[in-house]
Amino acid sequence: MINNPPRNALHSGLPINGLRQLVKLSGYPLQTVVASKLQKEFGVTEEWGYPDRNTQEHRTLDVYGFKALAEENKSGTLIRPNVALLVECKQSALPYFFFQSVAYQNRPIPMFPAIVGVQRLELSAGQTSRQVRPAECLGLVSERFIFGDPPVCASFARAAKKGKAPEEELDRTGAQPDFVKVQNLEITGADAYQNVILPLASAMRHLREYYQPDSTGSVIGATLALAVCVLDAPMVLVTGPSEEPTLALAPWIRVVRCVFR
């Protein structure tokens, strides 16, 4: 190992313990934990690059996981199924609030799950025909993971100290913020939308464009893609009327905010 040169030193005003806490709160350690766990089953890429869907600027997703499943040959057509996970990681001492949707509690979510790399499918019966999604052909709508367990929410937001950006919610030593009175907090949806929804939506769009269907029809490379946000933060589910909301902690929530096209 190369010896550390004397000039590579911390300023006396930057205590190592405070910087350690700053790193812990940044989200980077959570990204490392998620990547190491996924690596047991998936091929993992950290800081996976993609173009922003609005500005076309280069951005990176925290973790991309890919797993090729067993291939099959059906009447000369090679079927190559895969699974892709698009993962964004966030940490916060303050809670995220998830507002339960009314529209999607008793019906499937459109375009979910996303299956990319497959041409449009058409079912015909006599003189009639209709286009169907690959997920419908596979019967995924009836699977409990797709339509069942997690509460479905139309939006979510993050608690923050009034007048402060998330990265500013540290004291001078870099420690977690002291718990403050409720009247000193506000709920903001901008951070959740800009730093969770938009990155995942852009990454999903890039994945769709990358895995184009085989033009010859001799190979079907269907990839089931899931956009996931891993939160190391209190997750609060909000239900009931706005006049008297009910709050409960929930470990798994599905958010429907935009169509991943």
Enter the tokens of residue 220: 């079907």
Pairing type for strands 77-79 and 219-220 reads parallel
Residue 146 lies in a domain: yes
Q: How high is the pLDDT of residue 224? A: 92
Question: Comparing C-alpha atoms, which of 142, 148, 180 is closest to residue 164?
Answer: 180
Residues whose CB is less than 8 angstroms from the CB of residue 69 and which lie 6 or more positions away in sequence, other chains included? 81, 82, 83
Residue 82: what are its φ and ψ, rounded to 5°? -140, 165
Residue 139 lies in a domain: yes
The residue written with tokens 């977690």 in the block is 176
Burial (CB count <10 Å: 0-12, 13-18, 19+), residue 170:
middle
CA 40, distance to chain mean position in Å, is 20
Pairing type for strands 185-188 and 72-74 reads unpaired
Cα 40 to Cα 44, 70, 139, 213, 227: the distances in Å are 9, 17, 28, 29, 19
Q: How high is the pLDDT of residue 175? A: 44
Q: Report the domain count for the chain.
A: 1
Residue 7 lies in a domain: no
The residue written with tokens 């709050």 in the block is 247
Residue 4 lies in a domain: no
Residue 118 lies in a domain: yes
Q: How high is the pLDDT of residue 179? A: 52
Domain that holds residue 90: 17-255
Residue numbers of the chain with a pLDDT score lower than 70 = 27, 163-181, 257-261
Residue 8 lies in a domain: no
Residue 10 lies in a domain: no
Q: How high is the pLDDT of residue 35? A: 96
Instruction: Give this prediction's pTM.
Output: 0.80
Q: How high is the pLDDT of residue 234? A: 93
Residue 219 is inside which H or E element, if any? strand 219-220
Q: Are 202 and 50 in contact (CB under 8 A)?
A: yes
Residue 197 lies in a domain: yes
